[in-house]
Amino acid sequence: MLGSTPRFLSYQAGESILHRLDARTKLLGTAVVVADALIASIPAGMAVAYALGLLIGLGAIHLLPALWRTLRPLLVLIALFGVLIVIITPGHALFRVGFIVASRPGLDLAIQLGLQSFLIIYTSSLLTLTTPPLAIAGALDWTLGFLRHLRFPVQDVIAMVAIGLTFVPLLIEETRKVIVAQRARGADLGMNAMLDENAMAALLIPLLLANLRRGEELAESMDARLYGVGERTSLHERHFRRDDLLAATVLAVFTAADVAISFWLHP
Amino acid sequence: MIAIEDATYRYGPGDEPAVRDVSVSVAPGEMVGIVGPNGSGKSTLSRLMKGLIVPEAGRVTVDGRDTRDDALGVRRLVGLVFQNPDSQIVNSVVEDEVAFGPENLGLPASEIRRRVDQALDTVGLRGRERAESHAQSMADKQRIALAAVLAMEPRYLILDEPTAWMEPAKRTHLLERIREWQQETGGGLVVVTHRMDEARACDRLYGMLHGRVDVEGFPDRVLGDAEVRRRLALDVPEAYALAESLRAAGLPVQPGQSVDVLAEELCPS
Amino acid sequence: MPILEHTGRQGLDVGPGEIVSVLGAPGSGKTELALELAFLKVPSHGEVLLRGINPLAQRRFFQLSSRPHDVTLLVQNAEDQLFARTVYDDVAFGPRHLGVAEDEVERRVIAALEAVGLGVGVRARSPFALSGGERRRVALAGVLAMEPVVLVLDEPTANLDPQARNEFLRFLAPLRGKSAIVWLTDSAREATLADRIYLLQNGMLQPVPAREALLTDWRRLAEAGIELPAVFQLARALDERGLILPPEGTPEAMRQAIINAWCESHAG
């Protein structure tokens, strides 16, 4: 009932290759892998994309076992959705069970979506595991920097996202505590609780209040340290180093291969 | 010099004033203690001194700057460490958290690095730069929050219950470091506390009650009165009360020491 | 016949009407044990029996809610879990979930609020308008109103000021002699209020002498990481310096013993 905190959104300190890459490389790299997954043909293009994913994973090899454990339940979910897609997509029938028809296009779609989802989630998890939220925020800031000229408050929005990410583990812990406390009082907080407004109130109100208060206090602490007064600098000078160049090359090569295979060799 | 003159402040329009006609001063090099029960206005005083809020009557000046006109300037001069570290730490990496303030000031990376290292040194967390801030113990999180404020190199430092989550050994250690900081920088120090041993270490004390200054003066005088201590809800450490009762029975002990020192006084080795 | 029994961790049992204390240093795993005793966590070793039967063993797959409603837990910092619009509704939450009739709910809520010293006027107020100490009392009233057969308290006086701490036992009055109470604490002084005491060390439970006799074994307590009252810490320091002290159990008796011993050794 009370397991360890799921870590797929939490940063874990370390010294792996992935850890040492510049956050901007990792952020853009993730975007590139997502694009590769979306354009990939089945099966060859997708194989290239997965090979890329595997290579990336080797850059933080010690995290893979724990990551696999966390992502395993997702496979079940993806499979379930896949089955649904196979059944409801119209098209050439593969086989029938009663009045349920499994279609060929459905199967193709299910496989494609399943493979894409898994790769995307896996890559994003690697990003958040090896990159502190504020580094991701900094990378987003740099990438979207041009929006500042359009008067868009890039820095503030990104700070909100980053702080939110930072607090996810704490929020998960707090949710657990509230659930325990209310169950200890006899509240039934199983799956059917979502329909019971009293039960949901018992869960959500304490959480909401505690976090509203925390939000205020955090804002005060940031104000007290002069956030927003002027142009911010950074402790970590962001340089692209040799490793980043290497990573960019690998991404470019695999992307080129993916594009070639998906569009020209398999029209 | 931080000078609060006849300040009154209330949080909401219909509320009772949180502080009323309060006057407090803190000079550079001084350690001033603020004591009092919950709800007496201690935290409000901290915020007034930091310039986070502005009094509706009276005024607050720091080195001549009025918080009404130059709140920003005041915030640069005064550092405030709040009570709960979980509500202050925004960054998941220790050194990034400590760097947050200097980064806001737009300082160059090398200067930020210098300040971060020095601040972590002062609080004794050197070596934990890349650790996850939220995974540390409450006591260490409190030190991180303190380092984050020290990195802004304030002239005055306000600490709200700085050792609330610490056990005795760490407590003494931290207070020593803070005193060292004061000696090195000549800054002014304000400690909001309900612990009697911390209050005793101060140069001057203000006792708050219901938003007003109830007593002020030197610790020996203010704290010597048991009735005052009770009124101000001061937490008398057991060792202190024990020493007092032993002394009343004629044993040669001085209250205000740790148990080991008491034992030494009774049975010199 | 004990009503609640833990067969793992070298064993713990508590009978109806008894107060049993579990004394453990900070970080010794009291909360984990509290969850096991309240059937909110499956024990890693042994099992927890209610009236001789393990209710979790009968659990069907996927069913979380078969934990027995006879056992209630007051978590640490329980005041953080208040949520209802009025104090009345928050205290009524527990009994209503037990399926108790509304007029009986009313009786219980009023009795519980009275037991914790909160007057009639508090009932219609929002729990968030109260002070921290009052909110904790509301949380306690909430579990009292459930009239549990077994009540587990996880450090119920943590973060309360000294006066509130001393009063706490009084609030349990309606359950005394009827319910079985397990009180987990890190304070030796609080542990002496119980009928029986277990020491929690390295995850294992060990019965220790109760009431006054507990502190006579202060050496063992110190080893288990329990913070002793200052007078016993002084006794230990003096002990190391060769001043012989009799094994006293209460702080007052120990203080007197120190005075006597010192005066004797400096007589003349």
DSSP string, A110-164: HHHHHHHHHHHHHHHHHHHHHS-HHHHHHHHHHHTGGGGGGT--HHHHHHHHHHH
Cβ–Cβ below 8 Å for A224 and B90: no
pLDDT of residue C66: 67
Whether B248 contacts chain C with CB within 8 A: no
Residues of B in contact with A232 (CB under 8 A): 103-104, 106
* Residue C62, pLDDT score: 59
Is there a contact between C226 and C30 (Cβ–Cβ < 8 Å)?
Answer: no
pLDDT above 80: residue A165: no
Q: Report the candidate in A264, A243, A252, A263 with the shortest Cα–Cα distance to residue A32.
A: A252
pLDDT score, position C225: 82
Kindly report the length of chain A. 267
pLDDT of residue A8: 52
Domain range list for chain A: 1-131+237-267, 149-233
Q: Looking at A27-41, B161-175, C173-187, which range is the least confident one?
A: B161-175
The tally of domains found in chain C comes to 3
Within this chain, do residues C152 and C100 fall inside the same structural domain, yes or no?
no
Cβ(A103)–Cβ(A124) below 8 Å: no
Domain boundary (C129, C145, C161) is at: C145
Q: Which chains touch C (3 or more CB pairs under 8 A)?
A: A, B
Q: With beta carbons under 8 A apart, name residues in chain B contacting C234.
A: 239, 242, 259, 262-263
A169 or C224: whose pLDDT is higher?
A: C224
What's the one-letter identity of residue C217? D
What pLDDT was estimated at residue B97? 93
Residue at C79 is within a domain: no
Contact call for A184 and C72, based on CB within 8 A: yes
Q: Do A32 and A251 contact (CB within 8 A), yes or no? A: yes
C161 and C41 in a common domain: yes
The ipTM estimated for the assembled molecules is: 0.86
Q: How far apart are CA C155 and CA C162, in angstroms?
A: 14
Specify the length of chain C in residues: 268
What is the domain range of residue C251? 229-268
Which residues fall within 8 angstroms of residue C266, CB to CB, at 6 or more apart?
A: none
Which residues lie across from B78 on neighbouring strands?
B156
At A116 the pLDDT is 94
Q: What pLDDT does C267 receive?
A: 72
For residue A85, pLDDT beyond 60 = yes
The percent of residues above 90 in pLDDT, for chain B, comes to: 57
Q: What percent of chain B has pLDDT over 70?
A: 99
Query: Can you tell me the distance from the alpha carbon of C55 to that of C10, in angstroms, rounded to the nearest whole number?
Result: 20
Greater pLDDT, C2 or B205: B205
Residue A200 φ then ψ, to 5°: -65, -35
pLDDT digits (tens, 9 = 90+) for B166-212: 776 677 788 889 999 999 999 999 999 988 888 988 999 999 999 99
Looking at residue C59, its pLDDT comes to 60
pLDDT in tens, B23-47: 999 999 999 999 998 788 898 999 9
pLDDT of A266 reads: 61
Cα–Cα dist B128/A158, whole Å = 26
Q: For A197-204, which contacts have Cβ atoms below 8 Å and span 24 or more sequence positions?
A: A198/C93, A201/C83, A201/C84, A202/A178, A202/C81, A202/C83, A202/C93, A203/A175, A203/A178, A203/A179, A204/C83
Cβ pair B1, B28 in contact under 8 A: yes
Answer whether residue A6 shows pLDDT above 80.
no
User: Shortest CA distance to B212 belongs to which of B45, B51, B11?
Assistant: B45
Residue range A127-150: average pLDDT? 82
Whether omega before A43 lies within 30 degrees of 0, making that bond cis, reads: yes
Average pLDDT over residues A186-190: 73
DSSP H helical segments within chain A, as ranges?
17-20, 23-39, 44-58, 64-88, 104-130, 133-143, 154-184, 197-224, 242-259
Domain end position, chosen among C145, C164, C183? C145
Confidence band of A4 (pLDDT split at 50, 70, 90): very low
pLDDT recorded at residue A3 = 35
Q: From B147, which residue of chain A is nearest by alpha-carbon distance?
A: A225
Q: B50, B52, B44, B54: which is closest to B62 by C-alpha?
A: B50
Question: Which tokens sit at C166?
Answer: 């001393």
Nearest neighbour of B263 by CB, restricted to C131, C161, C237 = C237
Instruction: Kindly state the DSSP code that residue C122 receives in the 8-state scheme.
Output: G
Q: Which residue of C has its CA nearest to A1?
A: C41
The answer to whether the beta carbons of residues B9 and B44 sit under 8 Å apart is yes
The residues pairing with C197 across neighbouring beta strands, listed in sequence order, are: C21, C208
Mean pLDDT of B51-67: 93
Mean pLDDT of chain B: 89
Taking the C-alpha atoms of residue A29 and residue B103, their distance in angstroms, rounded to an integer, is 27
Residue B236, sorted as left (phi over 0), alpha (psi -120 to 50) or beta, turns out to be beta
User: Which helix (DSSP H) or strand (DSSP E) does residue B79 occupy?
Assistant: strand B78-81
Position with higher pLDDT, C107 vs A174: C107
- For B78, phi then psi, to 5°, come to -115, 130
Between chains, do C241 and B263 touch, taking CB under 8 Å as contact?
yes
The closest alpha carbon to C78, from C161, C15, C166, C155, belongs to C155
User: Is-contact C234 C40, C-beta < 8 A?
Assistant: no
Choosing among B43, B86, B103, B161, which should be mutated to test the A contact, i.e. which has the most A CBs within 10 A?
Answer: B103
Residue B151 neighbours by CB under 8 Å, 6+ apart: B98, B99, B101, B102, B112, B115, B116, B118, B119
- Cβ neighbours of B244 in C, within 8 Å: none
Q: Is residue A191 scored above 70 in pLDDT? A: no
| Pairing outcome for strands C19-24 and C48-50 | unpaired
Cβ burial of A95 (10 Å; 0-12, 13-18, 19+) is exposed
Distance CA C105, CA C88 (A): 10
Over 60: is that where the pLDDT of B249 sits?
A: yes
Put simply, the answer to whether C73 touches A2 (Cβ < 8 Å) is no
Output the CA torsion sign for A39, A43, A48, A49: positive
10 Å Cβ neighbour count for A246?
13
Higher pLDDT, B166 or A122: A122
- Which of C145, C143, C162 is closest to C154 using CA atoms? C143
| pLDDT of B223 over the 60 cut | yes
Distance of CA A236 to the CA centre of its chain: 24
- Residue C66 distance to chain A (closest CA, Å): 9
Cβ neighbours of residue A191 closer than 8 Å, sequence gap 6 or more = none
Residue of C nearest to B239 (CA): C230
Verify whether the Cβ–Cβ distance C40 to A180 is below 8 Å: yes
Residue C262 clears pLDDT 50, i.e. is over it? yes
Neighboring chain A residues of B100 at a CB cutoff of 8 Å: 222, 225, 227
* Sheet strands side by side (includes C19-24): C71-74, C150-154, C180-185, C19-24, C196-201, C204-208
- Nearby residues of C135 by Cβ (< 8 Å), 6 or more positions away: C79, C82, C127, C128
pLDDT at A186 over 80: no
Q: How many CB pairs under 8 A join A and B?
A: 98
Exposed e or buried b per residue across B169-201, where buried means at least 16 C-beta atoms within 10 angstroms of its C-beta: ebbeebbebbeebbeebebbbbbbbbbbbbbbb
Residue of C nearest to A193 (CA): C65
To the nearest whole number, what is the mean pLDDT of chain C?
A: 87
Residues A220-234 pLDDT 10s: 999 999 998 887 888
Residue A1: which pLDDT band, with cuts at 50, 70 and 90?
A: very low
Which of C145, C172, C191 terminates a domain? The answer is C145
Write out pLDDT tens, residues C132-156.
888 999 999 999 999 999 999 999 9
- Check whether residue C46 and residue C159 sit in a common domain: yes
Size of interface A-C (CB pairs under 8 A): 64
**Which residues is B9 bridged to in the sheet?**
B19
Instruction: Give the CA distances from residue B102 to residues B132, B150, C6, C193, in Å, rounded to whole numbers and listed in that order.
Output: 20, 10, 54, 52
How far from each other are the two terminal CA atoms of chain A, in whole angstroms?
50
Q: Examine the domain organization and report whether C28 and C53 are in the same domain.
A: yes
Q: What is the mean pLDDT of chain A?
A: 84
Mean pLDDT for A160-179 is 83
Q: CB contact, 8 Å: A182 with chain C?
A: yes
* Residue C155 and residue C132 share a domain: no
Residue C252 scores a pLDDT above 80 = yes
- Across-strand partners of A96? A101
Sort strands C4-6 and B212-217 into parallel, antiparallel or unpaired.
unpaired
The model's pLDDT over C50-98, given as tens digits with 9 standing for 90+, comes to 998 888 776 666 555 568 888 999 999 888 889 889 999 999 998 988 8
Q: Alpha carbon of B135 to those of A167, A214, B138, C201: distances in Å?
A: 11, 18, 9, 24
pLDDT of amino acid B168: 67
CATH number, domain containing residue C201:
3.40.50.300
Subunits with 3+ Cβ pairs within 8 Å of B are A, C
Half-sphere exposure of A69 (CA within 13 A, CB side): 9
Residue C63 has what pLDDT? 57
Tell me the residue type at B44: T
Query: Is the same domain home to C131 and C244?
Result: no
Contacts of A230 in chain B (CB under 8 A): 104-106
Residue C233: strand, helix, or coil:
helix
Q: What Å distances lie between residue C241 and A2, B265, C234, CA to CA?
A: 48, 11, 11
Contact call for residues B39 and B238 (beta carbons, < 8 A):
no
Query: Quick one: which of C191, C156, C161 has its CA closest to C171?
Result: C156
Average pLDDT over residues C161-177: 84
- Cβ neighbors of C226 (< 8 A, separation 6 or more) are C23, C24, C25, C186, C188, C199
Among B72, B86, B108, the residue with its CB nearest the CB of A229 is B72
For position A5, what pLDDT does the model report?
45
| Residue labelled with tokens 């206005």 | B41
Considering the domain boundaries, does residue C77 fall inside one? no
